[in-house]
Amino acid sequence: MSTGYANTQIQNIHNRRQLHRDSCNLTSPPAPCGGRRTGGAGKEQKGVTALPYSEADLRRAKQADLARFLQSRGYRLKREGNQYRVAGYGGLIVQGNHWYWFSREIGGNSLDFLVEFLGMDFRQAVHELLRLGENRESTPPRREKRHRNSAKHFEPPPRNETDRRIRDYLVKKRGLPESLIEELIGAGLLYEDLRGNCVFPCRDRSGRVRGAFLRGTGGRDFKGLAPGSDFRYGWVWPPADGGFSSRVVVVESPIDAVSLAAQRPALRKRHCFISLNGLRQITLFTYVDHHPETETFILALDSDPAGQAAAEKLRLMLKGAGCKAPIMRPPAKDWNEALVGG
């Protein structure tokens, strides 16, 4: 990723997070972000300037159809399954309201694209995307239906009748506590597919399954995303107490998350865990963008050179986005080796 592009991406994430904080403090008395405010509704605090756009407007702008916007601006798009490749931009992929530029390892939502890729002013970008939505409302119904049906949804791997193989593998071979495995299965965060693989569903903020991370249980050391997965979404494990957490532990795999939780029970109680399913930077920054209320990201990546280099890079980028990002290094190559070897 180029330094200039990375800095632009970080700065805009920081601006959006600050916008979220500001929008949570426009009325009096203050309330937690996302919570219910009481008193002073509809009134501005003295010295506080109202935002030019509401949170609903910003959500609409982020969710605007990016392919449609690009086509309206004369860009040439080539369909590849349920996504588009932008001609002449070396690996720039658009899908729905998201984009990813593989050659520079950057991406985001529709609003990010206008600001970071096209260089628009933030307010102008919101205006353009909202106007696109208004124009779309006047589109003939038949065209709208055809466009909507062209997109494909992720189909999770079919579930096996039993979870015996994954229980044996995770508990006996990987040394994970049976109680935590039972918890994950009960919460719908883990199941066994027809091939006996561990399936870790990856959901977006609304709870919709957008992909799945697979781990083989046989002799072959298989791991990776299920076909059709949206790589922007990682596997997320909410806090044990079921409450809100502004602190997130970042790991490379779901097994690392469970291994670390077994060794540090206090982390499990009040921290959320996210698996990047490797070292996918876009997965972390999708979470950062969608959860502006999160303040601290504990980077608990592998202790090998690749893991620690990624941790340091992400630490600097998160710092630039206004987040705290301490590094927690496993005493072995990864947290599962530390668990089994300890």
| pLDDT of residue 71 exceeding 70 | yes
| pLDDT of residue 203 exceeding 90 | yes
Q: Given this model, what pLDDT does residue 152 score?
A: 54
With DSSP H G I counted as helix, E B as strand and the rest as coil, what are the percentages for the chain, rounded to 5? 40, 15, 45
| pLDDT of residue 33 exceeding 70 | no
Whether 217 contacts 165, CB under 8 Å: yes
| pLDDT of residue 216 exceeding 70 | yes
At residue 52 the predicted structure's pLDDT band, cuts being 50, 70 and 90, is low
| pLDDT of residue 328 exceeding 70 | yes
Summary mean pLDDT of the chain? 80
DSSP state of 248: E
CA 139 – CA 56 distance, rounded (Å): 22
What share of the chain has pLDDT > 90, as a percent? 42
At residue 172 the predicted structure's pLDDT band, cuts being 50, 70 and 90, is very high
Q: What's the whole-number mean pLDDT along residues 162-168?
A: 96
CA pseudo-torsion sign 208, 325, 247, 272: positive
Q: Would you say how long the chain is, in residues? A: 342
| pLDDT of residue 3 exceeding 70 | no
Q: Given this model, what pLDDT does residue 117 score?
A: 77
| pLDDT of residue 142 exceeding 60 | no
The kind and range of the H/E element at 201 are strand 198-203
Q: Given this model, what pLDDT does residue 101 score?
A: 79
Tokens encoding 211 = 């992909």
At residue 6 the predicted structure's pLDDT band, cuts being 50, 70 and 90, is low
Which candidate, 227, 320, 242, 229, places its Cα nearest to that of 275?
A: 229
Three-state DSSP at 276 gives coil
| pLDDT of residue 250 exceeding 70 | yes
CA 96 – CA 214 distance, rounded (Å): 25
**Peptide bond before residue 292 is cis, with ω within 30 degrees of 0:** no
Tokens encoding 190 = 């883990």
| pLDDT of residue 27 exceeding 70 | no
Q: Given this model, what pLDDT does residue 212 score?
A: 96
> What letters, b where the CB count within 10 A reaches 16 and e where it falls short, cover 76-109?
ebeeeeebbbbeeeeebbbbbbbbbbeebbbbbb
The kind and range of the H/E element at 133 are helix 122-137
Q: Which amino acid is at 191?
A: Y
CA 6 – CA 52 distance, rounded (Å): 27
Three-state DSSP at 263 gives helix
